[in-house]
Amino acid sequence: MEPVATTFFFYLLSGLAILSGVLVITRKNPVHSALALILTLLCLAGLYLMLYAPFVAGVQIILYVGGIMVLFLFVIMLVNLERSQKEKQFNRQWVAGILAAVALGGLLVAIYTKGSALFVRPELLFPEAENTQQVGQMLYGNYMLPFEIASLLLLVAIIGAVVMAKKRI
């Protein structure tokens, strides 16, 4: 199915994503930051849909918005201090932050203006009806070993998180 009004939705979603990304790093209250990050993640899921990647979009919503962000909100409620909101929110590294941002941004702009030969190939259109099937075949075919390693990584993360957060082992 051809997407409708691609340009409009692209600018709407990307503008919302960047705006709420700014909110994530400027809000005082971490709960507000988390809510802004959820909005960013949802906008990115919309962008994935526009890029013919419905499976990644679904994984993004279920895993990120439904899993990781709920974890974040729980931890914020565990450690949220009224005191920490009255403290200074930014450390003294803002010069380093601005320098790194300018350097990285300049690097990316340079790459995108000079290396435009990377993007001139005609865009393939993947029929999104077979997208999930193809991703699954790749996960269990080409990427079998990374898939197993990822499952091992998750096991390590589960045990690690329990060990870290437990009072006494």
Partner 1 sequence: MRVRKTKSRRTEMTPVTTLHYLVVAAALFVLGVIGVLTRRNVVIVLMSVELILNAVNLNLVAFSRIWGLHGQVFAIFVITDAAAEAAVGLGILIAFFRNKETVNVDEVDLLKW
**Least Cβ distance, residue 166 to partner 1 (angstroms):** 9
Give CA–CA dist 162/164, Å, rounded.
6
**Least Cβ distance, residue 1 to partner 1 (angstroms):** 16
Specify whether the CB–CB gap between 43 and 17 falls below 8 A: yes
Give CA–CA dist 107/115, Å, rounded.
11
| CB neighbour list of residue 69: distance below 8 Å, 6 or more residues apart | 34, 37, 38, 41
**Least Cβ distance, residue 129 to partner 1 (angstroms):** 14
| CB neighbour list of residue 46: distance below 8 Å, 6 or more residues apart | 9, 13, 57
Nearer to partner 1, 121 or 129 (CB): 121
**Least Cβ distance, residue 161 to partner 1 (angstroms):** 4
HSE (side-chain half, CA atoms, 13 Å) at 132? 7
**Least Cβ distance, residue 93 to partner 1 (angstroms):** 5
Place of tokens 């998180």: 161
- If phi > 0 it is left, if psi is from -120 to 50 it is alpha, else beta; for residue 5 that is left
